[in-house]
């Protein structure tokens, strides 16, 4: 038996197929992964993401610490509640993890990091924090539920108290607010509008079932993966890891080079990689034939070299196979993918593939 979230019994009662995910017994789907995917694109779905790691950072030194720890710059966050996506790098410029950090006030930041990297993240953060006046506190007693889809916000408002609902009324995109026992971020991992809600574990089951009663369907990790892939969002461990810099993982936009004097961890190495020009980059692929792109398939760029698919799947929205691939920077608009010995044509596209339920593909792809 693996770790179980406070919602495990709810998953089983709702017919989930349970799989091991980074040591956690998690729902992969509740019947049909594809139907769940469409439910989020067209209406509203809920995800148990309680396995993810919530870390609070408190103290007068927290701003300085965050500016050291993260490749993105929290000084960009001018308004309380604003969130930022960032990589946390090692000294070589490799990615230890990617995360969301919420600036709650000048003494409190909340980070949500991956579950598969929990131990090394906590060890790293704690070690780096020693030189700062800051306290690092993991919050394993909290559950986390993401509600995503075009109707997600309206559904959540139906089931929360009026005082909470009022606070959500004006919550901007990529902002978070404390609302009673809830911590609500207007963030997500699907490319749809919605919330990620951190709440006490003891309240999770009731909130989950209340959402279910107003028509929010449970969504498993399977659809979570196809939704994030369509939305052009990286997955740690697949699309980047400690051997890969953000510049080779499509995450150059998350590195704050200015101000030049901010000496974040990994900066020197990353700067050297940037000056030398990385040999590879992450691109989106759309298969032009039948079949499904899969992780680790070889990408062949005629006359340029080979690459590899880092995340591949079938896109339920586009009804085509799509992927992220790490390829030589000299790639043009076309390539081939080796699928069980056959070379099939694929088009190179900008990500996202889908945003707010609509295809972002150029015509003719």
Least Å from the CB of residue 34 to other proteins: 4
Task: Dump the DSSP string for 65-103.
Answer: HHHHHBSS-GGG--STTBEEEEEEE-TTS-EEEEEEEEE
Query: What's the Cα-to-Cα distance from 122 to each of 35, 97, 196, 204, 266, rounded to whole Å?
Result: 36, 11, 21, 24, 18
**Using rule CB under 8 A, residue 45 touches other proteins:** no
Number of residues interacting with other proteins: please give it, by CB under 8 A: 14
**Using rule CB under 8 A, residue 34 touches other proteins:** yes
**Using rule CB under 8 A, residue 78 touches other proteins:** no
**Using rule CB under 8 A, residue 14 touches other proteins:** no
Q: Measured from the CB atom, is 222 or 250 closer to other proteins?
A: 222
**Using rule CB under 8 A, residue 232 touches other proteins:** no
**Using rule CB under 8 A, residue 39 touches other proteins:** no
The span of 65-73, 164-172, 274-282, 289-297 binding other proteins (CB under 8 A) equals 289-297
Strands, DSSP E only, in 2-155?
A: 17-21, 24-29, 45-48, 53-58, 83-89, 95-105, 108-113, 135-138, 142-148
Least Å from the CB of residue 98 to other proteins: 24
Measured between alpha carbons, how far is 187 from 189 in angstroms, rounded to an integer?
7
Q: Measured from the CB atom, is 277 or 340 closer to other proteins?
A: 340
Q: Note the Cα 36 to chain centre separation in Å.
A: 18
Local structure of residue 40 (DSSP, 8 states): H
Question: Out of 8, 102, 103, 314, which residue is the one contacting other proteins (CB under 8 A)?
Answer: 314
Q: Which of 230, 200, 233, 190 is nearest to 314 (CA)?
A: 230
Least Å from the CB of residue 33 to other proteins: 5
Q: Measured from the CB atom, is 227 or 273 closer to other proteins?
A: 227
Encoded tokens for 363: 């015509």
**Using rule CB under 8 A, residue 311 touches other proteins:** no
Question: 3-class DSSP state for residue 3?
Answer: strand
**Using rule CB under 8 A, residue 345 touches other proteins:** no
Question: Out of 122, 292, 344, 365, which residue is the one contacting other proteins (CB under 8 A)?
Answer: 292
Q: Is the CA virtual torsion 219, 238, 293, 283 positive or negative?
A: positive
Q: Which of 139, 68, 80 is nearest to 104 (CA)?
A: 80
Q: Measured from the CB atom, is 276 or 340 closer to other proteins?
A: 340
Q: Footprint of other proteins on this chain (CB under 8 A)?
A: 29, 32-34, 222, 226, 290-292, 294, 313-314, 316, 340
């Amino acid at each position: 038996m693996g770790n179980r979230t406070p919602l495990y019994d709810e998953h089983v009662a709702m017919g989930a197929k349970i799989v091991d995910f980074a040591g956690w017994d998690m729902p992969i789907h509740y019947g049909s992964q594809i139907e769940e995917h469409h439910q989020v694109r067209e209406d509203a779905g809920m995800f148990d993401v309680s396995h993810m790691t919530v870390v609070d950072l408190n103290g007068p030194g927290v701003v300085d610490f965050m500016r050291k720890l993260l490749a993105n710059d929290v000084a960009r966050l001018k308004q309380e509640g604003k969130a930022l996506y960032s990589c946390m790098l090692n000294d070589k410029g490799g990615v230890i993890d990617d995360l969301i950090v919420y600036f709650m006030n000048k003494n409190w930041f909340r980070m949500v990091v991956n579950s598969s990297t929990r131990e090394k993240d906590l060890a790293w953060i704690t070690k780096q924090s020693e030189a700062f006046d800051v306290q690092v506190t993991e919050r394993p007693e909290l559950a986390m539920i993401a509600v995503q889809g075009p109707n997600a916000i309206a559904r959540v408002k139906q089931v929360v108290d009026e005082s909470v609902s009022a606070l959500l009324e004006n919550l901007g995109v990529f902002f978070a607010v404390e609302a009673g026992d809830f911590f609500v971020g207007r963030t997500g991992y699907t490319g749809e509008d919605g919330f990620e809600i951190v709440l006490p574990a003891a309240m999770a089951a009731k909130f989950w079932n209340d959402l279910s009663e107003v028509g929010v369907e449970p969504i498993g990790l399977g659809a979570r993966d196809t939704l994030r892939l369509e939305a052009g969002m990286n997955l740690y461990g697949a699309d980047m890891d400690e051997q890969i810099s953000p510049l080779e993982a499509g995450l150059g936009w998350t590195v704050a080079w200015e101000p030049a004097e901010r000496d974040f961890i990994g900066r020197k190495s990353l700067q050297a990689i940037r000056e030398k020009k990385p040999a590879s980059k992450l691109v989106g692929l759309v298969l032009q034939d039948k079949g499904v792109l899969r992780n680790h398939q070889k990408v062949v760029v005629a006359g340029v070299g080979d690459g590899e698919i880092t995340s591949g799947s079938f896109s339920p929205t586009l009804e085509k196979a799509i992927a992220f691939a790490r390829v030589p920077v000299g790639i043009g608009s076309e390539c081939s993918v080796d699928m069980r010995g056959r070379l099939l044509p694929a088009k190179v596209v900008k990500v996202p593939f889908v945003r707010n339920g609509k295809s972002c593909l150029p015509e003719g792809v």
